[in-house]
């Protein structure tokens, strides 16, 4: 397994990047994806907003974007906004690393073909997969879908 991670437009964030690489390796092992490559970028809101506008037609920052590859070895690329992750961690009352783990799991599932926007059944299936992976790793918190659902109800 190979994990490539880099910083884009974020100086002095080596610690966050190191944790993200470590957590990505653990996640790939837990998902039994040990013969794959994953590329990740930690960035700022401005950078991810440009990508979000170009690829999804949404002119706003987001927390994580997934760009799957049609390749058996290269899963694809994950782009995570560290600024949004920090905000969400504070709003949700947990550590930044926990939020990055939640975003990593969510993004990886998108790379694997899950799409919570396709139907209610697909949403439930992806939420269950998030819970499964988070639990398998012993990571605190709920998956992004459960968190977003809770926030929408509250």
User: pLDDT per residue over 121-131, tens digit each?
Assistant: 999 999 999 99
User: pLDDT per residue over 80-116, tens digit each?
Assistant: 999 999 999 999 999 989 999 999 999 999 999 999 9
Residue 145's DSSP bridge partners are: none
For the domain covering 2-149, report its CATH number: 3.40.390.30
Most trustworthy range by pLDDT among 32-36, 78-82, 135-139, 150-154: 78-82
**Strand order across the 74-81 sheet:** 2-7, 37-43, 74-81, 64-68
Which residues does 124 contact at the CB level (< 8 Å), separation at least 6?
A: none
Residue 139: the pLDDT is 87
Task: Tell whether pTM > 0.75.
Answer: yes
Give the C-alpha separation, 98 to 19, whole Å: 10
Tokens of 121: 């059944």
Q: Quick check: 56 pLDDT over 90?
A: yes
The owner of tokens 């590859």 is 69
């Amino acid at each position: 397994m190979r994990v490539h991670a880099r910083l884009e437009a974020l100086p002095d964030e080596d610690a966050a990047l190191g944790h993200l690489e470590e957590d990505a390796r653990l996640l790939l092992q837990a998902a039994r994806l040990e013969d794959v490559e994953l590329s990740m970028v930690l960035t700022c809101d401005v950078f991810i907003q440009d990508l979000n506008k170009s690829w999804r037609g949404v002119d706003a920052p987001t927390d994580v974007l997934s760009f799957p590859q049609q390749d058996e070895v290269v899963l694809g690329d994950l782009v995570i906004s560290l600024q949004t992750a920090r905000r969400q961690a504070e709003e949700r009352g947990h550590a930044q690393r926990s939020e990055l783990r939640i975003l990593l799991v969510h993004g990886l599932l998108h790379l694997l073909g899950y799409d919570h926007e396709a139907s209610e059944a697909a949403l439930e299936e992806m939420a269950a997969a998030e819970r499964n992976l988070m639990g398998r790793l012993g990571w605190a918190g709920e998956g992004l879908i459960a968190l977003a659902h809770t926030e929408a109800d509250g």
